[in-house]
Amino acid sequence: MPDLLLELFSEEIPARMQRKAAEDLKKLVTDALVERGLVYEGAKAFATPRRLALHVAGLPVHGRDVREERKGPRVGAPDAAVQGFLKAAGLASLDQATIVSDPKKGDSYIAVIEKPGQETISAIAEIVPAVIRSFPWPKSMRWGKASAAGASLRWVRPLHSILCTFGSETEETEIVPFEVDGIVSGNLTRGHRFHAPGPITVRRFEDYVASLERAKVVLDADRRKEIIATDARNLAFAAGLELVEDEGLLEEVAGLVEWPVVLLGDFEERFLEIPGEAIRATIRANQKCFVLRDPATGELANRFIPVSNLMASDGGLAITAGNGRVVRARLSDAAYFWQTDRGPLPDLDTLKESAEKLGLDLGKPLDQRMAKLDKLGVVFHAKLGTQGERVQRIAALARELAPIVGADPDLAERAAKLAKADLPTEMVGEFPELQGLMGRKYAELQGENASVAAAVEEHYKPLGPSDRVPSDPVSVAVALADKLDTLVGFWAIDEKPTGSKDPYALRRAALGVIRLVVENGIKGRLIGPLARQFARVSTGGRFVELNVLKRQAEALEAFGATEVAAVLNEFLRSQLSPEAARRFTAETGPQTLEAYRELVAFFHDRLKVMLRDQGARHDLVDAVLGEGASGNDDLLLITRRVAALGRFLETEDGKSLLAGYKRAANILKAEEKKDGEGAFAGAADLQLIAGAGLIEEKALAVALAQATPKAEVAVAAEDYEGAMAALAELRPAVDAFFDKVTVNDPDPALRANRLKLLNQLREATRAVADFGRIAG
């Protein structure tokens, strides 16, 4: 069967866009083919810096013939109806229609419309131009004289040529004829920009790939990645070193070259005094080069690996020398940043107020940077104050959380006060991705406790579902405080995630809190810390506004507007009084409580997502939370109960008890509609049960009397496996009861008593979970 080969040849496509663009091209073209009934055997898309290519194999020569019967009006219908039918069906007269008889409706006209399948080459000629004109590039441009016209073609970079051929392996291929903004389709491509820039005639996919290979173009991005990785490892091994793997950089570099040539460069050993992470960030960001390390020590070596798009006549010496010059210049900058950040700031006298407010030691460089961050008044969020004010909140919360997570409160508070101190450093200013890590190094250099230094780096973690969760108690306290402050703050100002929009990464923060709690086995409810943090955010946000007014008053006084300044100052004095602050807090109480409940519900949603990703059923979370979901914020307890419930329901006892519960709940629901909700509350009459003389009824009453307190005691002791075992004891009695006992007995007293027994069963299971929320 024939194949389609399509290539869109242009100027360099940004590496970050290539892989998605190739997949978009494949989807858009193949979806359009299938819509026209042109089913194919397989398709694969490719991308290089200068081309997008698509190969669709096993297409038919033309689409399937279509036979359609279109029903018309009855015989003898008005002429207008008949003419409308003829026009819609494409018939010249009624002689071309067929009359069919219906015993009930009478005779009517039917038009049989037969359409031959469209030739595939014609369909492609319509599909490809439409795809090109509407291609979803993240950014695109117009070029040349035609760009003056608003309707001219937009492409990521100037599009030079379109190759489009169609044909089978055994026959000569055809050029699919079409034109897009003056670019006529053909069978020509070009090879490497420098090594083989001339035109290359192509027939089908096999000779296309081979021709490009001869013209120094590796079409498949994954193969380019493999070449780069293999050659880089081999060069490193030959030098007695090992490659520092970097999948993100590998993907990017493979999108920058069509014919990868891997080289080896070096720089002066003196630069190795800079932290390895900074060296790697410098070389990676500026030159897109890989770094190497000494396998014996694990430390970085003074070598790097650039990847060229050229086979240079000198073996790449000039290329590596050029890269080396740039690397040395960038490392010189990094060395300056490293040295500057460890020295004292020149304006220490202006930082005393901030240092006193935050309890910082201006004799230490990192403390100086934190004081500077506060002094500068860098805004975290317009409604949530500055970074300095936020650090105060985090420090207070970290101290409060420390005993809960087993951390020293003084160390947790100290770590929180230094957590953001590296933000104004020169190194983090140049390489934002090093925030936290550089803070840890500077903390270690000034002699901070090891747990404090670790927390400065680790308080950002976990950054995602696969990121490591810190285990040091001080790190856990600060990480929780940082994330909870973020969540509380944005909930307090009503900036919650909506739909797919989450500009402040609040879902990630909530998942981080859950993982920190669950993976570190932290017990306890969050209501106390959260409520106090809501209070800190509320009053803090109010005083942020007041501080803005205060600065305005000072500015007005400086310009001589003393009367207006006096009014503002009087307002400030009244607002900053303790009574005003208390009144403000009291006024925000109801809103704070509602925000707390919404935030806990948000945690529940994130917990469901996490457990579902781990293979758990989200309905079990609903069952464990039950009706009291809005206040259940002991995340570890919820997780353990869900796990225990899941294991129980996988057993035969669990499955049978769930079925018995569902049956009991359905009977109760139906009967409560007749007798009223709560009609069967309370304990069943044991004397009435004994008088009925049914062994199965007595057995269920006894089983409930024994199992219910056992389950309640086990839940109180957080022994969820024990609680499930207690419920499992009910299974034989429940099965026998439904097998032998008639619940809706003709005797009203027996009926009501047996319904009370079923209600006791329903209440007994609620000690562990709300079985009514479990699917199945």
Give per-residue pLDDT as tens, 502-533: 899 999 999 999 999 999 998 877 777 777 77
Render the burial of 403-439: b for 16+ CB within 10 Å, e for the rest.
Answer: ebbebbeebbbbbbbbbbbbbbbbbbebbeebbbbbb
Q: Which of 421, 432, 431, 410 is nearest to 364 (CA)?
A: 421
CB burial of 42-73 (b: ≥16 within 10 Å; e: otherwise) equals ebebbbbbbbbbbbbbebbebbeeeeeeeebb
Structure tokens at 168: 């089978």
Kind and range of the H or E element at 262? Answer: strand 261-262
Instruction: Give the model's pLDDT for residue 390.
Output: 94
Residue listed under structure tokens 């970085």: 300
Spatial distance between the Cα atoms of 635 and 38, rounded to a whole number of angstroms: 53
Q: What is the pLDDT of residue 576?
A: 40
Residues with pLDDT less than 70, the chain? 65-67, 114, 538-594, 627-632, 776
User: What are the percentages of helix, strand and coil residues in the chain, rounded to 5?
Assistant: 60, 15, 30
Number of C-alpha atoms within 13 angstroms, CB side, residue 762?
Answer: 22
* pLDDT value of position 230: 97
DSSP 626: G
The answer to whether 1 and 47 are in contact (CB under 8 A) is no
CB 746 within 8 A of CB 702: no
Identity at 529, one-letter amino acid code: P
Tokens representing 381 are 């969020």
pTM for this predicted structure: 0.76
Q: Identify the residue whose tokens are 């013939």.
A: 65
Question: Among residues 768, 750, 766, 761, which one has the least CA distance to residue 699?
Answer: 761
pLDDT for position 538: 65
Distance from C-alpha of 590 to C-alpha of 296, rounded to nearest angstrom: 62
Task: State the pLDDT at residue 216.
Answer: 96
Q: Two tokens at 644?
A: 């225990």
Which ranges of 562-651 would DSSP assign to H, the alpha helix? 562-575, 578-587, 589-613, 618-625, 635-649
Answer yes or no: are the C-beta atoms of 73 and 85 closer than 8 Å.
yes
Give the helix/strand (H/E) hosting 454. helix 450-458
DSSP code of residue 345: P
Tell me the three-class secondary structure of 479-545, residue by residue.
HHHHHHHHHHHHHHCCCCCECCECCCCHHHHHHHHHHHHHHCCCCCCCHHHHHHHHHHHHHHHHHHH
Neighbours of 38 (CB within 10 A): 23
Q: Rounded to an integer, what distance in angstroms lies between the CA atom of residue 601 and that of residue 591?
A: 15
Burial (CB count <10 Å: 0-12, 13-18, 19+), residue 203: middle
